[in-house]
Chains A and B, each alone.
Chain A
């Protein structure tokens, strides 16, 4: 990497820092200032003032808001997101335990979306207004409009209730099944490493519907962006030339055009990687998938503000980092942006 590139990376990093700081502050404000009083939720209403005070001191809520903010920042700087009031464990370990479930779900859906979406978008955009383009536009439009949680329920209705091919919304494994010993935390991988094929098959079967739901939701924007970007590129003169030279269409589309159409596609994939936590909240809620999204949702429903705060900070930082990575990928694949 030359010095100009690393200097640019450094400048971008400087721009990212205040945004991270702002997000952390905003999250703290919403969670701490506006959220319902957590103390009131955990003790019976007839509890006396002394007990209330004791719990407040224990949770650090007796201090002023600026003081609490100071403590929060100092802890955060050491990677400490506080302790969940529900599980009584550090939020970081709670999230860490639930990370593999979300990663497994996200990886499969994202792979599915890219493998299907990019080629489909490229072909549709290359032959604009053709029959393929027409169907792709129609289907992706509906894909964008689908509420993911409802799609999940409909898929459960079709594949579990009516056809009986796949398991219902019971999480990552059948009820009562023992998870494979943790190596990566991805059940489909761990069970395979352990050589337990029955368990592997069960984990795959349980993964299909949730990842299909999330996959359908994210394949639509990827396909649309790939298509729009290709339409733009196909107009340019460097595409007209190889066309006139009679080079094979597939070569033109996928070697010459796709390379130049790649930037918006990379941005969209970055956005989607950042969005995975949000999408996961809904899909995990429908399928009882014990991932980070479900954890964040439970935190909201049970007013566990430390856990909620931790989840939102992690999700937002992932979002920001995803965009930062997109910037880097930009600079690597397109010399013009350097």
Chain B
């Protein structure tokens, strides 16, 4: 058996290509040195992951308990983000919601990525009729404005964490599929793919073992943008009252609950959960920019 690895083209996103001949730690430092966005994004998203992991230690009160303080008291040492109209602690709810929103985001992005990448690889490699039909179907999915599609499907299949994840994955999937398809379509005739075919690699092997790894960089950059989108749409669905079951600590529904209080001046109920949404999505966009900076040498200084 010929050593197949020798025939493989270098992987676009591998640290060896970006920073050859350095120690592992040196490579990582070099990569982060390439892009401030990458560093800032990693730190922001990292903080949110830590908050989500240690949510139960950070919360100062039981997030689902009512009347842990007087209703609608402002920011204080006892209630860092104040309390809402049923006397729940806004800080604890916001922290608890971080875990929920990140869980939804991670599951939706991973599912959309895997499904989209598999579909895209199939469409790109087999081309012809399969490609044509898949592409038309994806185009139809993408022609319905995403928030409307999400609203419609969530109402149809009912609220709940799993349902929101399914809908987000379903809507995100076409973008991954199209990205991968375009990459594979251009690379399937390149030498390294020809070589893999020549030494007897089956179609599936060539497509998934050789072409796919070489087409993943734009997918990774997109995954981050997709994550930001999932956070925003999950919050939007929660705000409209159709995503997660009413009453759950979720950023969007928390913002909706504080809507009337905004008018009466108790701003903290809505403002803090919104700041969390804003910071996390900013983190994901920075991360996406950073990944693109590092992977596309042309956008580097």
A→B interface (CB under 8 Å): 18-20, 22-23, 26-27, 30-31, 34-36, 129, 141-142, 144-147, 149-150, 153-154, 156-157, 160-161, 168-169, 274-275, 277-278, 281-282, 285-286, 296-297, 300-301, 303, 308, 311-312, 315-316, 319-320
Contact = CB atoms under 8 A, between A and B. Distances in A.
A311 B281 CA distance: 29
Contacts of A315: 144-145, 148
Interface of A (DSSP majority class) = helix
Given A26-B140, A142-B282, A147-B235, A285 B240 contact: yes
A23 B285 contact: no
B145 to A, nearest CB: 4
Contact of A157 (B232, B271, B278): B271
B286 interface: yes
Nearest to A274: B145
A36 B157 CA distance: 9
Given A147-B235, A147-B274, A150-B277, A141 B286 contact: yes
Nearest to A235: B298
A27 B301 contact: no
A163 to B, nearest CB: 13
Interface stretch (B58-66, B112-120, B204-212, B260-268): B260-268
A141 B289 contact: yes
B274 A300 contact: no
Given A30-B156, A300-B152, A315-B145, A145 B278 contact: yes
14 contacts: A19-B136, A19-B139, A19-B140, A22-B137, A31-B152, A34-B153, A144-B228, A149-B236, A150-B270, A153-B255, A160-B263, A169-B263, A315-B145, A316-B145
A308 B149 CA distance: 11
A134 to B, nearest CB: 10
A174 to B, nearest CB: 15
B23 interface: no
A145 B148 CA distance: 19
Contacts of B122: none
Interface in B129-184: 136-137, 139-141, 143-149, 151-153, 155-157
Contacts of B148: 277-278, 281, 296, 311-312, 315-316
A145 B147 contact: no
Contact of A278 (B145, B242, B262, B270): B145
B240 A154 contact: no
B87 interface: no
B265 A161 contact: yes
A129 B300 CA distance: 11
B255 A149 contact: yes
Interface string B276-298: 01100110111001000000000
B152 A308 contact: yes
Contacts of A281: 147-148, 151, 240
Contacts of A320: 143
A278 B147 contact: yes
Contact of B278 (A30, A35, A146, A169): A146
Nearest to B271: A154
Contacts of B263: 156, 160-161, 168-169
Given A141-B282, A145-B281, 20 more contacts: A23-B144, A141-B286, A141-B289, A142-B278, A145-B228, A145-B232, A147-B235, A147-B278, A149-B255, A153-B255, A153-B258, A156-B263, A278-B145, A278-B148, A281-B240, A286-B259, A296-B148, A301-B241, A312-B144, A319-B143
The 4 closest A-B pairs by CB, nearest first: A22-B140, A34-B156, A150-B274, A145-B281
B242 A301 contact: yes
B81 interface: no
A36 B155 CA distance: 8
A296 B155 CA distance: 13
B222 to A, nearest CB: 14
Contacts of A300: 151-152, 155, 240, 242
B144 A161 contact: no
Contacts of B282: 141-142, 145
A18 B136 CA distance: 8
A194 to B, nearest CB: 31
A156 B282 CA distance: 23
Most buried by B among A147, A157, A160: A147
B140 A156 contact: no
Contact of B145 (A34, A146, A149, A277): A277
A147 B236 CA distance: 8
Residue in B258, B262, B282 whose Cβ sees the most chain A Cβ within 10 Å: B262
A301 B151 CA distance: 10
A86 B155 CA distance: 17
A277 B143 CA distance: 13
Contacts of A316: 143-145, 148
Contacts of A27: 144, 152
A114 to B, nearest CB: 20
Contacts of A154: 271, 274
